[in-house]
Chain A
Amino acid sequence: MCMRKLLLIICILSSVGVINAQEKKEKKHAVSIGVGTGLGIDYSYKINNYFYATARYSTLPYKKEGFDYEIDGEDMLVDAEFDFSHIDALISIAPFGKAFRFVLGAGYFTSSDVDVMMTFKDEVTIGEVVFTSDDIGSLLINTEWNGLLPYAGISFGRPVPKSGFGFGLELGAYYDADGPSMSLNANGLIENTKNQEGLLQESFKENKFLPYVAFRFAFSF
């Protein structure tokens, strides 16, 4: 038992010694995980006190079924599924050499679908005949952004922490000059509602920014 405690103490002291030895050498690399509009990991390289380069992968698979939504006065049940995955190449600029910085770059979206399926919440009764929402049909809206999008944001916290571990917050947005590509499909008795696709596309075309938010936890080495 005493021998084990002794070994543990030796190990801890050895680690502190390694850390102290590393502090003497500037840390240039960091990896981090991020949680926000997706789960992400990134690798950052400190070019100098003002510039950092970052490669990032972020993904947001999400599915929720059966929540209520009202559209055009209709009570609908909505099944929503997001599937965002993107690989980003970013440059961070810290104008004061401190934690605040601007982030610029581009993201390549390997997947950027938002599928929303809506069905009527209530049954329809004609005389004494009851039609279920399945009988009536459903609407399927798909939203997709272009593959390669420019990105800009601001960040608090160094991409490569000085002291091994660090936290940060990043806010930004990807920009799609054409807006997202929207499609509307319908089936059953509401099949012809798909003729509203043009209106949908038109209505969303100004929706050119795709937001990005992440809390980062980084480890430098």
Chain B
Amino acid sequence: MKTIKYIIITLLLVGQVGCIDKKFEDQFKVTIDTDLFNQIAVIQVFDPSGQSNLEGDTALSVEVLGDDKDKVVTDAGENISKLKIIDGVVNLVVNPNKNIENNPVEVLLKISGDNYLTTTVPVTIGIDERTEVSAYVVNKTSPVDGIEREEKTASIKNGVSEEQIVIETEIVNQTKNKAKVSIDVGTQFQDINGNLIEGDEVELEVTNFSPTNIDALTSFPGGFSPQSVTLDGGEVVNDVAFVTAGFVSVDMEVGGVEVKNFSKAITITMSVDTGSMNPDTGELVKLGDVIPIWSYSKDNGQWDYHGDSEVVMIDGKLQVEYTTTHLSWYNMDFYGRRCSRYSWWGDSSNGTPVTLQLSLPGVSSSDSRRLLSTFVYEGTSQEVSYNATKTQYWYDGQTFELNNTPAGRNLQLVVYSGDSRYNRGEEIFRSPAFDGCAGGQVNIDASSMVSKLPPAPIRIHVKYSGECNDRIIRPSTHLYMFNETYNYWQYKGYIYRGEITLHDMELNKPYSFRVYYNGRRHEHTITFDKTEYIDDNYNIPDELCNQL
């Protein structure tokens, strides 16, 4: 019977397939899209004192932390031990083989560099989501306004202080607050295990962050919606929202060994910015207010409750003073909880995130503007999280779903004239305050913003494709373009299956672009001569080519 079947098929194939034009076999090409991963994240780190400082792959290094760290790989599918931060850009994807249930994934990026203050960036990659996160790092050699830094070397004897050591940030550039660390005579400097670090010199660094300066706020290590916080009483939760009144990082080394503990408590004094808001009272922070102090580990991004501290008046300034035997970074934070749209995340009793609907008369989706926006606590410039600040399209009727937002605090939507965290521009709109966890829809009348919008942009729709191993490849990758005005490589969006629409472009002008794959940079230049542009000679990275 099988023989008969094969005879039949042979006859049919002789008739059908045998007549196939040779052209078909010669010209037929499989087209492959490279969006292999459906949970991806791009993190762009900025040095506000000059993004060119981060060029290359040596200025910063990155480490992935967190319970889900084994679920993520590099954009080339490699183990995260090979993850690089190049030009300030990190590309991560979720390994579908390790996340079979397709759950959201949370990791923490620890970013450090010789000239930079170590920071952590929480990254949550949702289901079938492209997560875009941007964050600032603090350049120790040239911190921005609002960040004051002091270094000093003090003599000690065999790992013990022989005199009181004081290090204090200076008040410069109109900064309103400062930090001071005092170490008493006879204090032993100890390592992470509590062992004495013998040496005759201690190197001290103190960095103070203003809670009212937007650049300083943007540089706060860890952000304000941390993934893991130990509350008073020891409960560990993942849905805390901080409202800061100030942050100080303190680092010490003896003979190259990091100091983690002291035999005697050291005293940390932080001044309170007079513009700081107490969200619990809705008024400015005042004498007698109690502010919780939180310690922050730059090693694992963990926040722990340290204690409450009362605001006192010292030398005519509002200050808080507290002691510790454990060297960490400290944050004065009022705190609350968050509500979430996801059942796996947080306590549903905190409310349901709202959906915002925008009224922007006269601005249709076809001439929408791509602008940076953020959500801040009412009356402040403090963004609620790294994820709150995004570049988005703005037009009449546009809706935004909040996913994970502070509960019990009023928020404001702020829109800037620029289209990147790095070139924020001017604040052109600030919405009335709203409760982000009230559920339902909140209508935002942004008509006052219309007259301040930048001109309608020229958009160019680009179709990219390339060829490798006789296959057509449509790339899916993040695209960066050199911004001559601000002298940095600006994130322009995600090329999805070979297509992207670029905003704010000009015809007949050369543009330089970058993409990244497997920790390597790839550049190309295009002069667009039409608004529908096809680049079918896109250079597919060899390592990707060989694997497809």
Contact = CB atoms under 8 A, between A and B. Distances in A.
A125 B470 CA distance: 19
B185 interface: no
Most buried by B among A180, A193, A209: A193
A139 B30 CA distance: 9
Interface of A: 35-38, 60, 62, 64, 71-74, 82, 114, 124-131, 135-136, 139, 143, 173, 180, 186, 189-193, 195-196, 199-200, 202-204, 206-207, 209-211, 213
Contacts of A143: 16
B16 A124 contact: no
Contact of B95 (A128, A186, A207): A128
Contact of A191 (B9, B29, B33, B544): B33
B28 A190 contact: no
B5 interface: yes
B219 interface: no
A189 B35 contact: yes
B8 interface: yes
Contacts of A73: 469-470
B74 interface: yes
- Top 7 nearest A-B pairs (CB, nearest first) are A127-B77, A203-B24, A126-B77, A211-B15, A207-B19, A129-B77, A203-B21
B19 A190 contact: no
B141 interface: no
Contact of B33 (A37, A82, A125, A192): A192
Given A37-B12, A190-B33, A204-B20, 16 more contacts: A72-B30, A72-B470, A72-B471, A73-B469, A125-B77, A127-B74, A127-B547, A128-B79, A129-B96, A130-B97, A136-B32, A139-B30, A189-B32, A196-B29, A203-B21, A203-B23
Nearest to A74: B30
A74 B32 CA distance: 12
B115 interface: no
Nearest to A129: B77
Contact of A127 (B35, B76, B469): B76
Contacts of B20: 203-204, 207
Nearest to B21: A203
B74 A189 contact: no
Contacts of A126: 36, 76-77, 544, 547-548
Given A189-B36, A196-B28, A206-B21, A129 B12 contact: no
Nearest to A70: B25
Most buried by A among B4, B16, B469, B497: B16
Contacts, number: 122
B33 A129 contact: no
B33 A199 contact: no
A69 B205 CA distance: 67
B73 A128 contact: yes
B15 A62 contact: no
Nearest to B15: A211
A143 B8 CA distance: 17
B468 interface: no
Given A35-B4, A72-B29, A72-B470, A82 B21 contact: no
Nearest to B98: A129
Contacts of A127: 73-74, 76-79, 547
Nearest to A204: B20
Most buried by A among B5, B8, B14: B8
Contacts of B4: 35
Interface in B532-548: 544, 547-548
Contacts of B15: 173, 207, 209-211
A114 to B, nearest CB: 7
Interface in B36-83: 36-37, 73-74, 76-79
Contacts of A60: 8
Contacts of A193: 29-31
Interface in B471-498: 471-472, 474, 497-498
Nearest to B93: A129
A83 B381 CA distance: 68
Interface of B: 4-5, 8-9, 11-12, 14-16, 19-21, 23-25, 27-37, 73-74, 76-79, 95-97, 469-472, 474, 497-498, 544, 547-548
Contacts of B498: 192
A64 B12 CA distance: 14
A124 to B, nearest CB: 7
A128 B78 contact: yes
B77 A128 contact: yes
Given A124-B547, A127-B78, A213 B24 contact: no
B97 A129 contact: yes
A195 to B, nearest CB: 7
A8 to B, nearest CB: 35
Contacts of B9: 62, 64
B16 A202 contact: no
Contacts of B474: 192
A73 B27 CA distance: 12
Most buried by A among B21, B30, B471: B30
B12 A211 contact: yes
Contacts of A204: 19-21, 24
Contacts of B471: 72
B206 to A, nearest CB: 42
Contacts of A128: 73, 77-79, 95
A189 B37 CA distance: 10
Contacts of B28: 71-72, 196, 199-200
A119 to B, nearest CB: 12
Nearest to A118: B30
B30 A37 contact: no
A199 B23 contact: yes
Contacts of A74: 30
A207 B9 CA distance: 16
A34 B36 CA distance: 51
A177 to B, nearest CB: 14
A88 B411 CA distance: 77
A202 B73 CA distance: 43
Contacts of B11: 36-37, 211, 213
B8 A36 contact: yes
Nearest to A209: B15
18 contacts: A62-B8, A72-B28, A74-B30, A126-B36, A126-B77, A128-B73, A129-B73, A135-B96, A139-B30, A189-B36, A190-B30, A190-B32, A191-B31, A191-B33, A203-B20, A206-B21, A207-B15, A210-B15
B27 A199 contact: yes
Contacts of A38: 8
Contacts of A135: 36, 96
A112 to B, nearest CB: 11
A74 to B, nearest CB: 6
Contact of A124 (B19, B95, B548): B548
B24 A190 contact: no
